[in-house]
Structure 1
Amino acid sequence: MSISHLPTTIGYISISGTMTLIGFVSNIFSLAALCQSAIRRTTIVWFIILTTITSQLSLTFLLAHVLYIILNQYSLLNHHTLLNLILCKLCSYLSRTFTYISKWSICFVSVSRAQNTKQIRIRNLNKHGVPFDKYDKQKLMLYVLTIFLVAASAVIDILLHRITNDTQNTNQLICITEYSSLSSVWKTVDTLSIFTNHIVPVLLNVYASGIILTIAARSKSNVSHESFISSLWFQIKLRYEQLLCPLLMILCSLPQLLAGFILSCDTWNIVWLKHFIISLYYFAYIPQLLTFFLFIQPSRIYKQAFKQSQIGKLFFK
C-alpha cells in the first residue's frame, strides 16, 4: 500500500480504537450498575446485561477486523499464509456474528419492555417478589436459540472468505468474499441471513416502540379523557428511557441498510463514496457504544444503583 494512504489508515485505526474504548467504559459502567444487589434479576435486566457484553464483543472484534485488514494491506502477513487465511475467515465471522447478536440482544430488551407494557401481570410479579416465571424462562430459552441460529447462519461467512492475489499488485495477498465457489443455494442462504439479521431487528424495534407508545397513550386517554395525541406526547416524555434505545437502533441501522440495497459494488471505486459507506458502517455501532446512556442514565433505579457501585462511588462522593 502506498504511503499516501497512511493518514486514512491511522484514521480508521483511531476511530475503531476510540469506539472500542468508549464502548468498554460504557459497558463496564452498565454492568457495575446492573450487578448491584438492589437490582432484581428480571428478564429485562438479564437482557440488558447480555446486551452490554455482546456490544463490547462486537466492538472488540470490529477493531480486530480493521487491524487485520490494515496488516494485510501493508503485506505484513504475506509470509504467514496459513495465519493470514485463519484471520481472514475468523475476523470476518466473529465481527459479523457478534454484531448481529448485539442487535438481537437490543431487540429482546425492547420487545420485553413492550410486552411488559401490554401485560399488567408484571406488576403483580414484582409485588410478590417473584422475578421469574415460566414465561420469563421461555424468553431466555428463545434468546439462547436465537443466538445459536445467528451464529450458525454466519458460518457461511467462513466458507465465502479466501486469500487471493491482488489484481493490481500481484505481490500482495488480500482477503475477499467469493461467491463463485458456492452453489446458488448457499448464495441465497447467505443473502437471507444478511437480510434477516439486519431487517428483522429494525422491524422489531419499530414494533416495540409502537406498542409502548400506543398502549400507554390509549390507557391514559381512557382514564383522563384526554385526546389520544396529547396522551401520546405525554407518554413519549414519560417513557423516553424505554423508547430511546429502539429509536436510536432504527436511526443508526436505516442509513446502512439503504446504502447496502441502493449502492452497487462499483461504488467502491469512488473514493469519497467508499469513505461515506464506511462511515455509515461505523455509525451503525452507536447503540453498542452508548449502553450506559441508553439503559442506565435515563433510569432512576439503575442510575441510583450505579452510584452505589464501587465505580460509581469514584464519581459520586
Structure 2
Amino acid sequence: MKLCADADSCIGHGPCLTNMCANIAGKVLEIRYNGQTLPSFSELIHDTSVLRRYYFLIVIFFACFGLMNNIISLVTFLHDRIRFTVSGVYLIMYALCGLITMALFLINILITFLPNGFFFSQWICHIYPYLFLIFSNTSILMSAAITVENILCRCFCFDRFRSRKCALFVTFNLLIIVSISNLDKIFARHAITNRTDQFYCTFKDYTHRIWLDFNNFISYIYVFTACIIHLICMTFLFIRIQQHKQNWFQNWLLYQDILWPSLLIVLCSAPYAILHYVLYTHDLLSNRFYMHLHTGFILCVHIPQMLTFFIYILPNRYYVKEFQRSFICKKLCCLHAASKQAQVQEFEMKYKTWQQGTALEPVMTISTLNDYYIRGEIYDRIKLEV
C-alpha cells in the first residue's frame, strides 16, 4: 500500500481510498465493494475535514428523531383496531425495522470511537452491515406491502379485518429471504488491517467476483422492486383520480395516506440506487467528495423510516384517532393541561395582587371639568414633596 492525499497522487498505484493507494491488481473491485457496504460513518472518523463533526451531529439528530417517531408509531400500531388488520401487521413490522435501523445508526457512531480491536473489526465487517441491510431491505419491502394492502382495501373492497395468516406468512418469509441473501457479510469476508491500522473487509480470493456481483444484484433488486410496486400503485391511483375531474382534490385527500408514503419512498430510494450504480461502474469511490455524497444518500434513503409517524399516521384520520387514544398522547395532553392550568393560576394570583394594590390607593374625586385625574402613586409623591 502507498499513502495518498487525493486521486492524483496514486497514478500507477490504483485509486486512493482512505489515504491509501491500491497497488495490487484486482483490488479495485474490492475497494468498490468496501466503499459501498462498509458503515460509511466509520470512514468519517479518520476524515480531517471540518465536515466530520457536522456529519456526526446530523446523524445523531437523524437517529434520535427517527427513534421517537418509530416508538410513537409502534405504540399506535399496537392498538387492537390496527394490529388486528392485515395492514397493521405490515405497519408494526415497518415500525420495528425503522426503530432498529435508527438504533443501529446511533450504535455505529459510538462504535467508531472505540479503539481498533477484535470487536471493532467484527462490527464494521460483519455485524453492522448484516443487521443494517436486513432491516433496511425488509423495511422498504414492507412499505410496498402496506401500499398494496391499502389499495386492495380501498379500491377493491377487501376486508381490512380478514385473516392475518397471509400477512404473517409474507412478513416472516421476506425477513428470512433478506437474512439469507445477506449472509455473505458474515461468511464470505474477513477483516484485515493496513499500514495505518485501519480495518477494512475483503473477500476470499476464490469467491471474490461471485460474491461482489451477487451483493450488487441483491441490493438493486430490493430497491427497484419496491420502487416499481410503488410507481404502479401511484399510477393506478392517479388514473382513478383523473376519472373524477370535478372532485380531483377531494379524491387526492381521500388517497393521500397512500400517495404520500409511496412518493417519498420513491424520491428517496431511486436516487440512491442510481448513485450506487454510478459509483460502482465508474470507480468514483476513491474520491472523498463522492464518499461523502454516498454517505448523504444513505441518510436520504432512510428518511421514510425516520418519518414513520408523519407519512403513515398523520395523513390517515383513523390512525390519528387511535394515536389520540394512546397513553403517549394522553400523557402529552396531561402535561399541556398542567402547564396551561399553572399559567391560569399565575394569572389569577397576579390579578388578585393587582386588585389589592388598587384598593389601597387614595381616590381623588373630580368635581369640575378643569380638574385632572392624577394616578394614586403620583399623587402620593406630590403630597410628600409639598
Fold shared, TM-score > 0.5 on shorter chain: yes
Paired AA for residue 130 in structure 2: Y
Query: Which runs of structure 2 are paired with 1:92-171 in the superposition (5 Å)?
Result: 92-122=129-159, 131-133=161-163, 136-166=164-194, 170-171=195-196
Q: 1:163 Cα deviation (Å)?
A: 1.7
Aligned equivalents of 1:245, 1:160: Cα separation in 2: 36
Tell me what 2:255 maps to: 239
Tell me what 2:326 maps to: 309
Aligned equivalents of 1:145, 1:208: Cα separation in 2: 23
Tell me what 1:85 maps to: 121
Q: 1:157 Cα deviation (Å)?
A: 1.8
Structure 1: any 5+ residue segments left out of the alignment?
none
Once the two structures are superposed, residues 110-161 of structure 1 have per-residue CA deviations (whole angstroms, 9 ceiling, x without a partner) of 1111222342242xxx6xxxx123xx42232122111100111011122344
Q: 1:65 Cα deviation (Å)?
A: 3.4
Aligned equivalents of 1:290, 1:315: Cα separation in 2: 19
Aligned equivalents of 2:232, 2:321: Cα separation in 1: 30
Aligned equivalents of 1:187, 1:277: Cα separation in 2: 18
Paired AA for residue 217 in structure 1: I
Q: 1:234 Cα deviation (Å)?
A: 4.5
Query: Which runs of structure 2 are paired with 1:58-77 in the superposition (5 Å)?
Result: 58-68=101-111, 70-71=112-113, 76-77=115-116
- Count of matched residue pairs: 289
Aligned equivalents of 1:90, 1:107: Cα separation in 2: 26
Aligned equivalents of 2:261, 2:48: Cα separation in 1: 36
Choose 1 or 2 for highest CA Rg.
2
Aligned equivalents of 1:132, 1:311: Cα separation in 2: 29
Tell me what 2:85 maps to: 42
Equivalent residues of 2:121, 2:199 under 8 A apart: no
Aligned equivalents of 1:3, 1:280: Cα separation in 2: 20
Aligned equivalents of 1:269, 1:187: Cα separation in 2: 18
SS of the counterpart of 1:207? helix
Aligned equivalents of 2:133, 2:95: Cα separation in 1: 17
Aligned: 1:260 with 2:276: yes
Tell me what 1:56 maps to: 99
- What percent identity do the matched residue pairs reach? 18
Higher helix share: 1
Equivalent residues of 1:65, 1:95 under 8 A apart: no
Of 291-300 and 192-201, more deviation after overlay is shown by: 192-201
Aligned: 1:10 with 2:53: yes
Tell me what 1:198 maps to: 223
Q: TM-score by structure 1 length? A: 0.81
**Aligned-residue RMSD, C-alpha:** 2.6
Query: Which runs of structure 2 are paired with 1:292-303 in the superposition (5 Å)?
Result: 292-303=309-320
Query: Which runs of structure 2 are paired with 1:264-283 in the superposition (5 Å)?
Result: 264=280, 266-283=283-300
Paired AA for residue 179 in structure 2: A
Once the two structures are superposed, residues 220-261 of structure 1 have per-residue CA deviations (whole angstroms, 9 ceiling, x without a partner) of x4xxxx55xx56555323211111111100000111111111
Aligned equivalents of 1:3, 1:37: Cα separation in 2: 48
SS of the counterpart of 2:135? helix
Aligned: 1:189 with 2:214: yes
SS of the counterpart of 2:284? helix
Q: 1:36 Cα deviation (Å)?
A: 2.9
Tell me what 1:210 maps to: 235
Structure 2: any 5+ residue segments left out of the alignment?
1-17, 19-44, 335-386
SS of the counterpart of 1:305? helix
Cα 1:183/1:278, change in 2 over 3 Å? closer
